Copies of this chain bind each other. A is one copy, B any other.
Amino acid sequence: MTTDPAFAELTTLLKRTHTLGTVAELLGWDEQVNLPPGGAEQRAAQHAAVAEVHHAAASAGRIGALLGALEAGAGGLTPDEQLVVTHARKDYERATKLPAEFVREKAAQSSRGYHAWVRAKAADDFASFVPVLEKNVELAKREAAYLGWSGREYDYMLDKHDPGLTAVAVDRLFGELKSELVPLVRAITASPTAGRAKAAETTLRGFPVEGQRAFLREVTEQIGFDYERGRIDVSLHPFCSGTGSDVRMTTRFKVDEPLDSLFASIHETGHGLYEQGLPAAQFGTALGQHAGMAVHESQSRLWENQVARSRGFWRNVEPRLRALFPTQTAGLTAEELYLAVNGVEPTLVRVEADEVTYNLHIILRFEMEKKLFNGELAVRDLPAAWRAASREIVGLAPATDRAGVLQDVHWSDGAFGYFPSYCLGNLLAAQLWYRALTLRPGLEEEFARGDFSWLLAWLRAEVHTQGRRFDALELARRVTGEELSPRAFLRYLRERYGALYLN
C-alpha cells in the first residue's frame, strides 16, 4: 500500500523505539514479580540505561527529518498514514523537549521510588517516603515545564494520561458524580441487605491458593485471554504489562478473600484483552497503540464489573466454583453468593473497594493531587490531609498511613494524574455496556452459557483495533453517540445495586 519510502523508514524507526519501550516495560514487570531484594540499585541503573537509549531512539534527528518531509508532502498520505504522522509528531516533540539527563534521572528515581514505597508501606513509615515523594513531585513539575506547561502542571499530568483532560473538566464530572453517589452509598449501606451481603462474604474463607489459581485461569481463559500470548503471576499490587504477543498480568492471593484475586484477575484480563487486541502489525505507530488510560481502564472495568458481576456471568461460573470448593461454598445459596459478589461497604483501601464506593477513592486522590500541584498542600502534610479528606469523602479515616496515603503504588514512580483515568474509565465502561446491550439485548444469556465472544468481538472492532485513533472523549461520542458523562454509570449502579439493595 505504502509507496512513500520516507513513511516506511519512519515506521521502522518508530517500531525500534517501541521495541526498546517493551524492554523497559519488561524490566518493570520483572521488578515487581521477580527481583531479589538486593537487586534494586542494579535495576535502577538498568532502568536508567534503557530509558536513555529509548529516549535517544524516540528523539533521533532522523525522525524529525522524515516527519518534516512527510508533513510537507502530506497530500500523498492515506488517512491512516496521516494519523501515524500526526501522533508521531506529538511524541517526537515530547521526546525532544526532555533532556536526556532528565529522562535518565527520572527513570532511576522511579525505580528507587518503588522500592522506597514498598519499604515505607511495610513499615508504615510515611516519613521515610517524604523525600522520595517530594523528589517525584519536583521531577513531575520539571517535566511539565520542559514541555511548556509551567503553571498548569497538574493539567499536564492529566493530559499525559488522557489527552485533552483538564482539572476543571474533571472537577465538573466528579462534582456531578459525587452529588448522586454519596446519597446512593448512604441508602445502600443503610439497607438491611447490606448486612446480609457482608455475612455472605464472611463465609467465603479457606480457599487454597492452588484452587484459586486454577479457577481464575479457567475463567480468564474463557473470557478470551490468550495464554499462548501472555501469562499471569503474583505481585504485591496487581497490574498488566506488555502488549501483543507477550501480555503479562499479575494478581495476588489471599486464602480468605477468594473474590479479591478473582476480580483483580478479571480486571487485569480486561487490560490484557485490549493489549492482545491491538493491531500487532502496527506496533510502534499510533495504529498499534492504546488510546490513553481512561480507555484502558474502561476495558478492565467493563469486564470486571458490568460483565463479571452480572447474574448471567455467575450462572456460568457458580457451578465450577462450587465444584472446586464444595465445602467452602456449601453454606451459601446462589442468591447469597451473588450478594457476596456485589457487596457494598465503604472501605479504606481503594483496590478493595466495591464498584459503588470505588470512585469516592478516586475523588479523594484527585483532591490530594490537585492541592499537591497547586501548592495548597506540602508532601509532609499529606497524611493529615488524607485522613481528613477520607473521612469527608469516603466516610472513614485510616488509623495508619499504610491503609491511607501509602496504600497506592502510583505516586512512588511519579504517576500523578493517573487516578482520574480509573473513574473516567468507569464512566466510559458503563456507556459502552449500554450500547452493547442495545445492539445485543441477550448478552447476559450468552454469558450464562460461557460465551463472551460477541462482546469481545465488538470491543475488538470498536475499541481495540482502533489503536490510538480516538481518545476517551471521542470514543464515547463515536461508539455510544453521547458525550462522556456520569449518567450511564449512575444508571448502571441504580439498576444493578438498586435491584439488590433498595427494593
Q: Is the CB of A49 within 8 A of B20?
A: yes
In the complex, A30 has a CB within 8 A of chain B? yes
| A231 / chain B contacts, CB cutoff of 8 Å | 34, 36
| A36 / chain B contacts, CB cutoff of 8 Å | 227-231, 245-246
In the complex, A429 has a CB within 8 A of chain B? no
Q: Which of A49, A227, A245 has the most CB of B within 10 A?
A: A49
Q: Which of A16, A37, A42 has the most CB of B within 10 A?
A: A42
Checking B19, B37, B42 against A49 with a beta-carbon cut-off of 8 angstroms, the contacting residue is B19
| A73 / chain B contacts, CB cutoff of 8 Å | none
Q: Is the CB of A30 within 8 A of B26?
A: yes
- Bound: A228/B39 CA distance, A: 8
- Chain B residue nearest to A53 in the complex (CB): B53
In the complex, A176 has a CB within 8 A of chain B? no
A45-81 CB mask vs B (1 if < 8 Å, else 0) is: 1101110010000000000000000000000000000
Checking B19, B50, B228 against A23 with a beta-carbon cut-off of 8 angstroms, the contacting residue is B50
In the complex, A159 has a CB within 8 A of chain B? no
Q: Is the CB of A245 within 8 A of B42?
A: yes
- Chain B residue nearest to A41 in the complex (CB): B245
- Bound: A26/B33 CA distance, A: 13
| A49 / chain B contacts, CB cutoff of 8 Å | 16, 19-20, 23
| A26 / chain B contacts, CB cutoff of 8 Å | 26-27, 30, 46
| A480 / chain B contacts, CB cutoff of 8 Å | none
In the complex, A32 has a CB within 8 A of chain B? no
Given contacts A26-B26, A36-B229, A37-B228, 17 further A-B contacts (CB under 8 A): A15-B45, A19-B42, A19-B45, A19-B48, A19-B49, A20-B49, A22-B46, A23-B46, A23-B49, A23-B50, A26-B27, A26-B46, A36-B231, A36-B245, A38-B226, A42-B244, A42-B245
25 contacts between A and B (CB under 8 A): A15-B45, A19-B45, A19-B46, A19-B49, A20-B49, A20-B53, A23-B27, A23-B46, A23-B49, A26-B26, A26-B46, A36-B231, A36-B245, A36-B246, A37-B228, A37-B229, A38-B226, A38-B229, A38-B245, A39-B245, A39-B246, A41-B245, A42-B244, A43-B246, A53-B53
